[in-house]
A and B are shown apart, each in its own frame.
Chain A
Amino acid sequence: MFLDLRQIRKAFGSFTALQDINLGIQKGEFVCFLGPSGCGKTTLLRIIAGLELQTAGQVFQAGRDISLLPPALRDYGIVFQSYALFPNLSVFDNVSYGLVNRKTPRAEIRQRVTDLVKLVGLPGSEAKFPGQLSGGQQQRIALARALATSPGLLLIDEPLSALDALERVRLRQEIRSLQQELGVTTIMVTHDQEEALSLADRIVVMNHGVIEQVGTPVDIYREPASPFVADFVGKVNVLGANRVNGRLQLGRFSLPGHAHNNGPVKAYLRPEDVLAQPIAPGDAHVFDARIEKIDFLGAYCHVVVSSWSLDEHRLTVYLALNFLSEQSLQVGSQLQLKLLPERIKVF
């Protein structure tokens, strides 16, 4: 285990910000801490950086106990949400800031800075001041500065939240390919699930100071361990259901299940797991539904339907715009839909 967090707890006065955090991170992994604001993800990052001191627990990095070490004695590079570039220093001086202090020869520094700014896609910008760069460019320079000293661990705190949508996607891909190229172990904090899903090798979903689930993006999405994860990552329909003798009673459907105890439960069903096509005659779990509302979002529309088969529960499904127009469907139209029962999560 390259980075090992054991029993981390953090309290601010009577407020418990983090509790029972146990987490191992492999060398070269890209891990995202994902959660709503106030869930403790940034606090955890700052504890790893030594900028915040845990109330209890231990942190090991590369086999060394770093729990009580000051930041200067740890081995990491950090990129903040605010970039924190030194405004009065040029890009060159910013990127070389940590190198100058290590008595690296001048020519070597020059070479390293040239390589780094090229690596982050801003060759030739050495003489500029941060104020002359766009937000995305500043974030790239902050990344170059953090990587300059070749740290063993790269910490990134909400790096994309201040950028516009297009720039965010572009920089996201760049961070990912950069990380793969360098192989540096990376932890990134984000509240944007799309960002986490597209970037991470593993996602750590956090809520109210505890880890809800750790897993690959597909795991997290397909097999959420808790209602919170199912709800927070991706869109989901929550339907009331009943367990009766090992089967799931959902509206008029009786679906196979493997539950032991009977009683009311919640069924979590993703919009894409309700299909409009292909439906072959004789398919199971097909039901009639009526369109209540169509949110036009481009190629795919969010369509709210209701059905007698589901006790008039409302359900959001994704339908292709082309499908809607081919079938000339509009609000009030009837259509057939098919459930994928194996995809239903029950909590």
Chain B
Amino acid sequence: MVAPPAAIAVNQQFHWIDRLAHVLLALVAIILLYFVALPLAAILVQALQSGSGEFIWLANFVAYAQTPALLGSLWNSLWVSGLVTLIVLPLAFTFAYALSRSCMPYKALFRGITLVPLLAPSLLAAISLIYWFGNQGVLKGWLQSIGFDEIYGAPGVVLAECIAVFPHTLMILVTALSMSDARLFEAADAMGTTAVRKFFTITLPGAKYGLISAAMVTFTLVITDFGIPKVIGGNFNVLATDVFKLVIGQQDFAKGAVVAILLLTPAVLSFAVDNYVSRRQTAMLTARAIPYSAKPSPLFDRLMTLYCAIIALLVLAMLGMAVFASFATFWPYNLTPSLRHYTLGLLDAEVGVAFFNSLKMAAGTALFGTALVFVGAYLLEKTKGMDGLRALVRLLAVIPMAVPGLVLGLGYIFFFNAPANPLGGLYHTLTLLTVCTIVHFYTTGHLTAVTALKALDSEFESVSASLKVPFYKTFWRVTLPVCTPALVDMARYFFINAMTTISAVVFLYSPETKVASIAILNLDEAGEMGAAAAMAVLIGLSSTVATLFFMLLAWWVHRRTQAWRV
């Protein structure tokens, strides 16, 4: 054994241009610390403090546990979320199975219809249910004939949540089921395996992780949703509505923070499970797997078509009712279509301004969000040095995924409403609403950007350095043009979610900066159901227009910048 030479600390020098990248990375780190980490820390501090600011350990939690009404909400939240998960999971699984494993016709159409609800705020489902089954609902009698007095309360919440989360659950399961290896099925066929056995030994184990992940996401979405229980919940209290009442109604910040931490638990848990699961899922499928393609089977295909048609019809009934009601002159007495709710209910009542606020916020989110997220991801993936800071930014970029909007919004009040905050002036401004929305949806954009960047040859930066071309020129001339399709995707995602989000911004608006989704809640509270429906339809419409616009943009960008793809 030769003794190793004395350890000398060797550090590579950096070109001043590389230092520029470090400064930018530090800037991204500061932004994320200030707008992600500190607001969340503010919740924790708030939960551990008394009203006068003393540190009181877990006394707030104890006080919470001794309030029977609040504990009731916890129980309500848990069983409603559990029940919705149990209902939606098999329904969505069957639908996803039909899409990926059958030869039924019109797959794209069925899939498209079930994804449309994503374009409108989730509480559209609640509004529509009220028109179908509410006090003046079309089918109120049906509801009573099966033993429910009224739709308001638990039945409405469960039903509306089922409709609202269905597309989310479906998307996860379609991804899980589309990852399958045809060779396994061929081997099973060669051994004469029955269809049922194949399902239980190949299909189900293959989709196991997707199912777990879908269940967790469904549960989390329901338990953290605010809009639906607010609109159709009546006196049925859940955690999400409690937070709102405690903080906005009673100004009891401490208890509000406790509930926020309770809401954070399933989200963090689901995030951890999802992380674990996605790692297992990719390991299962090798690069050599051959994708499965279904063989026609008349009876099965017809059954699946029937099933999907029923689901699609239900979705259309939900959407259609909201649209119809928004045009009905005076429900339920005068159903002649008119623009009364749009003109009288929105424009003249000066809530039209909320719609334009929404557009402004969505545009800002799409523009600045995409820029920040992409630059952040680029600096993380393609520059070198500052490894400690890099790890921190990486962590801060995925945290928002585990934070429900309601909790994030609450953190923003606690943090930005504090007198000592130098940026306290942002409170109630559209800027803060935009920032909060960017942060809320940061992680999905970040993951899209990282995937696009990882697809690029990792040696581009090395080649540029050897040619003495600064990194920002390569970013501008190569990285950005190659990644434009991903950028358009990110912008679309930001825009639509900014249009439809409620939970993150419900704590942050002022009358001047009210956005459209919040206006729906206010109109509903004021009994202006028609105008509320009209506003929801407007949001859905603008999201649709935006989607079409972004599709057009993607097509144009593809032609302009992707000509090299042959």
Please give the residue numbers on chain A whose beta carbons come within 8 Å of chain B beta carbons, in ascending order.
7, 9, 49-51, 53-56, 67-74, 76-78, 80, 82, 84, 86-89, 97-98, 101-102, 129-132, 145-146, 148-149, 151
B 1-25 contacts with A by CB, 8 A: 4-5, 7-8, 10-15, 17-18
| Contact call A78/B5, Cβ cutoff below 8 A | no
Known: A9-B4, A149-B467. 15 other contacts (CB 8 A): A9-B5, A50-B12, A53-B10, A56-B5, A70-B12, A72-B15, A72-B465, A78-B462, A88-B478, A88-B481, A101-B467, A101-B468, A101-B469, A145-B467, A149-B468
B566 at interface (Cβ–Cβ under 8 A)? yes
B178 → A minimal CB distance (Å): 27
The CA-CA distance from A130 to B566 in the complex, in Å, is 9
| Contact call A49/B466, Cβ cutoff below 8 A | yes
B563 at interface (Cβ–Cβ under 8 A)? yes
Enumerate 16 A-B pairs (CB-CB under 8 Å) in ascending A order. A67-B10, A70-B465, A72-B466, A77-B466, A78-B463, A80-B463, A84-B463, A87-B482, A88-B478, A88-B564, A129-B564, A129-B566, A131-B564, A131-B565, A145-B463, A151-B466
Q: Which residue of B lies closest to A69 (CB)?
A: B13
Contacts of B468 in A (CB 8 A): 72, 98, 101-102, 149
The CA-CA distance from A135 to B188 in the complex, in Å, is 39
| Contact call B564/A76, Cβ cutoff below 8 A | no
B54 at interface (Cβ–Cβ under 8 A)? no
B387 at interface (Cβ–Cβ under 8 A)? no
| Contact call A129/B563, Cβ cutoff below 8 A | yes
B279 at interface (Cβ–Cβ under 8 A)? no
Among candidates A74, A89, A129, residue contacting B477 with C-beta atoms closer than 8 Å? A89
| Contact call B463/A70, Cβ cutoff below 8 A | no
The CA-CA distance from A77 to B467 in the complex, in Å, is 7
**B390-430 near A? 1/0 per residue, CB < 8 Å:** 00000000000000000000000000000000000000000
B457 at interface (Cβ–Cβ under 8 A)? yes
Contacts of B477 in A (CB 8 A): 86, 89
Q: Which residue of A lies closest to B462 (CB)?
A: A51
The CA-CA distance from A224 to B82 in the complex, in Å, is 72
Known: A68-B10, A97-B467, A101-B473. A84 touches B478 (CB 8 A): no
Q: Which residue of A lies closest to B7 (CB)?
A: A56
Q: Which residue of B lies closest to A99 (CB)?
A: B467
| Contact call B12/A53, Cβ cutoff below 8 A | yes
Among candidates A7, A54, A68, A97, residue contacting B469 with C-beta atoms closer than 8 Å? A97
| Contact call B467/A88, Cβ cutoff below 8 A | no
| Contact call B466/A84, Cβ cutoff below 8 A | no
**Lowest 3 A-B CB distances belong to which pairs?**
A98-B467, A71-B465, A84-B459
The CA-CA distance from A129 to B566 in the complex, in Å, is 9
The CA-CA distance from A288 to B565 in the complex, in Å, is 64
| Contact call B462/A71, Cβ cutoff below 8 A | yes
B251 at interface (Cβ–Cβ under 8 A)? no
Q: Which residue of A lies closest to B5 (CB)?
A: A56
B451 at interface (Cβ–Cβ under 8 A)? no
The CA-CA distance from A149 to B17 in the complex, in Å, is 20
The CA-CA distance from A77 to B459 in the complex, in Å, is 13
B250 at interface (Cβ–Cβ under 8 A)? no
- Residue among B11, B469, B470, B561 with the most chain A CB within 10 A? B469
Q: What is the interface residue range for chain B against chain A?
A: 35 or more
B481 → A minimal CB distance (Å): 5
The CA-CA distance from A71 to B5 in the complex, in Å, is 26
Contacts of A9 in B (CB 8 A): 4-5
Contacts of B464 in A (CB 8 A): 97
B509 at interface (Cβ–Cβ under 8 A)? no
Contacts of B482 in A (CB 8 A): 87-88
| Contact call A78/B478, Cβ cutoff below 8 A | no
Q: Which residue of B lies closest to A52 (CB)?
A: B12
Q: Which residue of A lies closest to B463 (CB)?
A: A84
The CA-CA distance from A73 to B11 in the complex, in Å, is 15
| Contact call B462/A80, Cβ cutoff below 8 A | yes
A118 → B minimal CB distance (Å): 20
The CA-CA distance from A77 to B466 in the complex, in Å, is 6
The CA-CA distance from A131 to B457 in the complex, in Å, is 14
B460 at interface (Cβ–Cβ under 8 A)? yes
A255 → B minimal CB distance (Å): 36
| Contact call B564/A70, Cβ cutoff below 8 A | no
Contacts of A88 in B (CB 8 A): 478, 481-482, 561-562, 564
Contacts of B478 in A (CB 8 A): 86, 88-89
B5 → A minimal CB distance (Å): 6
| Contact call B15/A84, Cβ cutoff below 8 A | no
Q: Which residue of A lies closest to B563 (CB)?
A: A129
Contacts of A53 in B (CB 8 A): 10-12
Contacts of B467 in A (CB 8 A): 77, 97-98, 101, 145, 148-149
The CA-CA distance from A76 to B465 in the complex, in Å, is 10
A85 → B minimal CB distance (Å): 8
Among candidates A76, A77, A84, residue contacting B460 with C-beta atoms closer than 8 Å? A84
Contacts of A84 in B (CB 8 A): 457, 459-460, 462-463
B14 → A minimal CB distance (Å): 6
The CA-CA distance from A54 to B10 in the complex, in Å, is 8
The CA-CA distance from A78 to B466 in the complex, in Å, is 7
- Residue among A56, A102, A132 with the most chain B CB within 10 A? A56
The CA-CA distance from A104 to B353 in the complex, in Å, is 55
| Contact call B466/A76, Cβ cutoff below 8 A | yes
**B450-461 near A? 1/0 per residue, CB < 8 Å:** 000000010110
| Contact call B15/A70, Cβ cutoff below 8 A | yes
The CA-CA distance from A148 to B459 in the complex, in Å, is 18
| Contact call A130/B564, Cβ cutoff below 8 A | yes
Contacts of A67 in B (CB 8 A): 10
B473 → A minimal CB distance (Å): 7
Contacts of A102 in B (CB 8 A): 468
The CA-CA distance from A89 to B563 in the complex, in Å, is 10
A28 → B minimal CB distance (Å): 20
| Contact call B564/A87, Cβ cutoff below 8 A | yes
- Residue among A82, A86, A102 with the most chain B CB within 10 A? A86
B469 → A minimal CB distance (Å): 5
The CA-CA distance from A139 to B5 in the complex, in Å, is 40
Contacts of B565 in A (CB 8 A): 87, 131
The CA-CA distance from A98 to B463 in the complex, in Å, is 9
The CA-CA distance from A86 to B464 in the complex, in Å, is 10
- Residue among B7, B13, B467 with the most chain A CB within 10 A? B467
The CA-CA distance from A51 to B458 in the complex, in Å, is 12
The CA-CA distance from A160 to B14 in the complex, in Å, is 32
| Contact call A56/B8, Cβ cutoff below 8 A | yes
Contacts of B469 in A (CB 8 A): 97-98, 101
Contacts of A82 in B (CB 8 A): 457, 459
Q: Which residue of A lies closest to B565 (CB)?
A: A131
A38 → B minimal CB distance (Å): 19
Contacts of A78 in B (CB 8 A): 462-463, 466
B418 → A minimal CB distance (Å): 43
